[in-house]
Amino acid sequence: MANITKKVSWSSRADDSNATGEGTPLLNGSDQLGYSRQQSGGSISQIGRVSTVDMDEEITSEEDSLRGRPKEITHNEKLLSLKYESLDYDNSENQLFLEEERRMSYLGFRCLEISRWVVCGLIGFLTGLIACFIDILVEQLAGLKYSVVKENIEKFTAGGSLSISLILWAVLNSSFVMVGAIIVAFFEPIAGGSGIPQIKCYLNGVKIPRVVRLKTLLVKVAGVICSVAGGLAVGKEGPMIHSGAVVAAGVSQGRSTSLKRDFKIFEYFRRDTEKRDFVSAGAAAGVSAAFGAPVGGVLFSLEEAASYWNQMLTWRIFFASMISTFTLNFFMSVYHKNPGEMSNPGLINFGSFDRNSSSEYNLYEIPLFIGMGAIGGLLGALFNALNYWLTIFRIRYIHRPCIQVMEAMLVAAVTATVSFIMIYFSNDCQPLGADQVEDYPLQLYCDDGEYNSMATTFFNTPEKSVRNLFHNKPGSYNPLTLGLFTLTYFFLACWTYGLAVSAGVFIPSLLIGAAWGRLIGIMLPNLSPSSSPSQIWADPGKYALIGAAAQLGGIVRMTLSLTVIMIEATGNVTYGLPLMLVLMTAKIVGDYFEEGLYDIHIKLQSVPFVHSEAPPTSHWLTAREVMSSPVTSFNRIERVGTIVDLLSNTSTNHNGFPVVVSNANGDEPAKLCGLILRSQLIVLLKHKVFVELARSKLTRRKLQLKDFRDAYPRFPPIQSIHVSQDERECMMDLTEFMNPTPYTVPQETSLPRVYKLFRALGLRHLVVVDDSNRVVGLVTRKDLARYHLGKHGLEELQLAQT
């Protein structure tokens, strides 16, 4: 089971040499709590140990699930995994670092700055290229598929043996999805899903294993092509954000650990601080390519990442975003044999809502929009709740790769079947106009010169369906079609999200929302008093847009960035205020019932996510209550054996150690003089930087920052470093390597104040000292993430070793 759950959990590490990574981080109490651990394969039914209710009964009894969340799942959700490490956004300003910085001339800094710009340009360019590649391949594959199926349907419509077409369609879809699911489930599970929760966590400062590796990128790209071409209710936009992030992490390091190539460039950027900045740029470039929204991309990155506003960084992020959308636009224009015609800024193209009178809104429509926002919030909360239960179910029962592949194939087949049935029984025929926008109009049982309207929504990539819902002229859809479509697509999309395929939830959300939004737009003229001029209600496309925003906002609950993304995607500032009000309402209403989809998935992984502000009622708490203590400290000159023993202690697994110094006669307590990281100690041990050795071998090269950079980011585990018995008695002088000026707070500091310092500077360790500068505790990410505002005031999550 250990291996299987490794695939399920974000936090597991395949290359972990020690065995602490066993057990799923989700579903068990911690060792500290005294539960016995069962390693056997038959332990699945034992997972709910903590609960008193029988698990199976509970899942099957529907009334129970509907009444509220099952008790022990609530409990599991309130765990915080201790397995995730933090990124270090705060530079360790040790002597080596300062020496290097001081050696560098002003010109050197200029060169660094220029190379940062070059890297950002590259990130944007490559992200744009990837978007282009995905888009073209999806279009080709989906086009091929639809042509084959359409031909087949047309052949069999007369003969009546349409079941053959259905089977053909289902098989085609399933085989695409199978490929996509196999590579995800067997090769790189972290590439599953949209990747946005993972990137959110990474940007928040949580180290998610393998999330920015080359392999993840390859699987992600191939996976998303398969799943979209396979006709699942998914989008290719979320994965773009993940892809951009991986590109950024790769390019900025100037080497690939997977390919064992080191280009010896950008070595300065090999640390968490710089890397995280570039990953922000990559994520922004991804958003920009996905939606043609460079500003939205910048805001997305800022919303998720920025703890500290840095003007130059933001400007660089914007540059990457611009280059990304430009690259996509340019290559797509070449692909469409119209080079220079920049009309494809993003993967999803809402089409232009031009500034003409019909697309304007009136003041009295605003309450209507707000109402739609509320509907979006409700539907979004329902979607999230359903998906939450489904995810719990999946984690418990569907964690073997082959079952995951089978589930994905099943969903693909069901999607095809449901679509087919709905098309088959639909009698909504529309005339084929001269200004035909459908790529694959299906005639089916319609008269000649007409096409099946239901088919256009299903028989198309979701992106095109969204655009059709926005822009097809009034009367293109009949209400029943839209209603049925909304209903089925809602459940299909909900089922699909969380499958072991890489796929985003943006487009399905937009599609569901656009469908019910357009439905409202169509119904309105009937509901409103006949005296009102029908011309005002004439544009259901406007309502489709508002509905799409409401539904998307209700599901993902992003605020500022989503508004800007929607504004940019529509290419029209006019809808700014309505979109903002709708997204705000959707968020408020949705938050009342259920968290956002990404937050749910982050929480289910027990990630210690530090929000931008402390819970409002947390002034009661001070650093004294929040901190971990006692703290393991080292002396400035410490025995190697002590260090090795402490690092090898798997029960603590600390990553940062305060360094203390006692005065000469030793009567006073030790005072804080620095902070050293596990990774630094490991490099020191590996290079055997011992006081005795330094004395004996005078010619020995001094350890440089380069040695730390070379080891970054995959520092070897302590177990792989051999230290002989003699060496254990040597001493190590940490003075040069520790950070001599760690940030500290007094014990009486209130939690919000600690939180602000921690978040603003992106810290990993914050030392708590008493009034004589003696170490009394250490605040880390988990200590802050632990407190959150529940329904009954401030709640504290439990910590689990897993």
Residues 758-787 touching a copy of itself, rule: CB under 8 A, are 760-761, 769, 771-773
User: Does 713 sit behind a cis peptide bond, omega within 30 degrees of 0 on the bond before it?
Assistant: yes
- What is the distance between the alpha carbons of residues 675 and 669, in angstroms, rounded to a whole number? 17
Among 313, 329, 243, CA closest to 281: 313
For residues 217 and 202, what is the distance between their CA atoms, to the nearest angstrom?
Answer: 15
Q: Which is nearer to a copy of itself, 101 or 729 (CB)?
A: 101
What pairs with residue 732 in β-bridges?
638
Among 102, 337, 701, 702, binds a copy of itself (CB under 8 A): 102
512 or 672: CB nearest a copy of itself: 672
Give min distance, CB of 746 to a copy of itself, in A: 5
Interaction mask 643-662, a copy of itself, x per CB under 8 A:
------------------x-
**178 beta partners:** none
Give the residue with the Cβ less far from a copy of itself, 492 or 545: 545
In whole angstroms, the minimum distance from the beta carbon of 610 to a copy of itself comes to 12
Residues 107-136, interacting with a copy of itself (CB under 8 A):
109
Q: Given the rule CB under 8 A, which of 77-85, 103-111, 220-228, 677-685 is the region that contacts a copy of itself?
A: 103-111
Using CB under 8 A as the binding rule, the residues of this chain from 33 to 92 that contact a copy of itself are: 91
Q: How far apart are CA 582 and CA 700, in angstroms?
A: 66
Distance set, CA 481 to CA 419, 422, 681, 753 (Å):
12, 9, 65, 55
In terms of Cα–Cα distance, which of 44, 37, 35 is closest to 1? 44
| Identified binder of a copy of itself from the candidate list 151, 154, 748, 796, rule CB under 8 A | 748
Cβ atoms 115, 266 nearer than 8 A: yes
| Residue 665 near a copy of itself by CB under 8 A | no
- Residue among 443, 628, 590 at smallest CA distance from 513: 590
699 is a site residue for a copy of itself (CB under 8 A): no
Stretch that binds a copy of itself, among 401-409, 549-557, 671-679, 724-732 (CB under 8 A): 671-679
Q: Tell me, residue by residue from 355 to 374, as one string, x for binding to a copy of itself by CB under 8 A and - for no binding.
A: x-x--xxxx-----------
Residue pair 310/273 in contact by the 8 Å Cβ criterion: no
Nearer to a copy of itself, 483 or 571 (CB): 571
Q: How far is the CB of 639 from a copy of itself (least distance, A)?
A: 23
Annotate 204-229 with DSSP letters as a single string: HTEE-TTTT-HHHHHHHHHHHHHHHH
- Shortest Cβ 615–a copy of itself spacing (Å): 9
List, in order, residues 6 or more apart from 78 with CB less than 8 Å away: 795, 797, 798
Question: What is the DSSP annotation of 642-682?
Answer: HHHHHHH-TTT---EEEEEE--TT--SPPEEEEEEEHHHHH
| Residues facing 626 on adjacent strands | none
Residue 533 makes contact with a copy of itself by CB under 8 A: no
Per the CB < 8 A criterion, the answer to whether 571 and 350 are in contact is yes
Contact at 8 Å (CB) between 353 and 545?
Answer: yes
Residues 604-633 that bind a copy of itself (CB under 8 A): 612-613, 616-617, 619-620
Among the listed residues 195, 138, 132, 506, the one whose alpha carbon sits nearest the alpha carbon of residue 323: 132
Q: What's the sign of the alpha-carbon dihedral 250, 766, 10, 282?
A: negative
Q: Where do we find the tokens 């597991």? A: 12
Choose the binding region for a copy of itself from 129-137, 408-416, 456-464, 666-674 (rule: CB under 8 A).
Answer: 666-674
Residue (186 or 330) nearer to a copy of itself, CB: 330
β-strands 206-207, 731-733 pairing: unpaired
Q: Which of 483, 571, 641, 717 binds a copy of itself (CB under 8 A)?
A: 571
Q: Of 47, 229, 306, 659, which lies in the binding site for a copy of itself, with binding defined by CB under 8 A?
A: 306
> Any contact of residue 563 with a copy of itself (CB under 8 A)?
yes
Pick one of 289, 580, 647, 785: the residue that binds a copy of itself (CB under 8 A).
Answer: 580
Cα torsion angle, 52, 54, 59, 61, sign: negative
Full DSSP string of 227-281: HHHTT-S-BSHHHHHHHHHHHHHHHHHTEETTTTEE----GGG-SHHHHHHHHHH
CB of 335 to a copy of itself, least distance (A): 15
Query: At closest approach, how far in Å is the CB of 469 from a copy of itself?
Result: 20
First to last CA, the chain: 14
How far is CA 119 from each of CA 38, 251, 266, 278, 393, rounded to the nearest angstrom?
Answer: 48, 7, 9, 8, 42
Smallest separation, CB 767 to a copy of itself (Å): 11
Q: What is the DSSP letter of 422?
A: H
- Out of 636, 750, 786, 798, name the contact with a copy of itself by CB under 8 A: 750
Span interacting with a copy of itself, options 254-262, 304-312, 548-556, 728-736, rule CB under 8 A:
304-312
Q: Could you give the CA distance from residue 401 to residue 189 in angstroms, rounded to a whole number?
A: 9
Determine the interface stretch with a copy of itself among 38-46, 294-302, 591-599, 630-638 (rule: CB under 8 A). 294-302
By CB under 8 A, the count of residues binding a copy of itself is 91
For a copy of itself, the closer of residues 316 and 399 by Cβ is: 316
* Count of beta carbons in the 10 Å neighbourhood of residue 731: 16
Q: Should residue 637 be labelled a site residue for a copy of itself when binding is judged by CB under 8 A?
A: no
Least distance to a copy of itself, CB of residue 114, Å? 11
CB of 435 to a copy of itself, least distance (A): 17
Closest approach, Cβ 737 to a copy of itself, in A, equals: 15
Would you count residue 295 as binding a copy of itself (CB under 8 A)? yes
Minimum CB–partner distance for residue 676 and a copy of itself (Å): 16
Pick between residue 5 and residue 325 the one whose CB is nearest to a copy of itself: 325
Contact positions with a copy of itself (CB under 8 A) in 313-352: 314-315, 318-319, 322-323, 325-326, 330, 339-343, 345, 352
Q: Do residues 776 and 627 make contact, with C-beta atoms less than 8 angstroms apart?
A: yes
Specify the residue, 617 or 724, whose C-beta has the smaller distance to a copy of itself. 617
Residue 38 or 574 with smaller CB distance to a copy of itself: 574
Candidates 175, 273, 559, 635: give the one binding a copy of itself (CB under 8 A): 559
> Among residues 625 and 748, whose Cβ is nearest to a copy of itself?
748
Nearer residue to a copy of itself within complex by CB, 311 or 651: 311
- Name the segment binding a copy of itself (CB under 8 A); options: 248-256, 373-381, 480-488, 670-678: 670-678
Q: Which of 275, 175, 188 is nearest to 239 (CA)?
A: 188
For residue 558, the minimal CB distance to a copy of itself (Å) is 10
Does 585 sit near a copy of itself (CB under 8 A)?
no
Alpha-carbon span 75 to 78, nearest angstrom: 5
User: Judged by CB under 8 A, which of 309, 434, 651, 696 binds a copy of itself?
Assistant: 309
Q: Dihedral of the CA atoms 135, 332, 552, 595 (nearest 10)?
A: 60
- When computed from its CA atoms, the radius of gyration of the chain, rounded to whole angstroms, is 28
Residue 567 is a binding residue for a copy of itself (CB under 8 A): yes
Candidate list 33, 425, 741, 795; residue touching a copy of itself; CB under 8 A: 741
- Cβ proximity to a copy of itself: between 98 and 144 the closer is 98
Q: Which long-range contacts (CB under 8 A, 24 or more apart) does 107-115 make?
A: 112/268, 113/312, 115/265, 115/266, 115/268
- Name the residue nearer to a copy of itself (CB basis): 456 or 563: 563
Nearest approach, Cβ of residue 101 and a copy of itself (Å)? 4
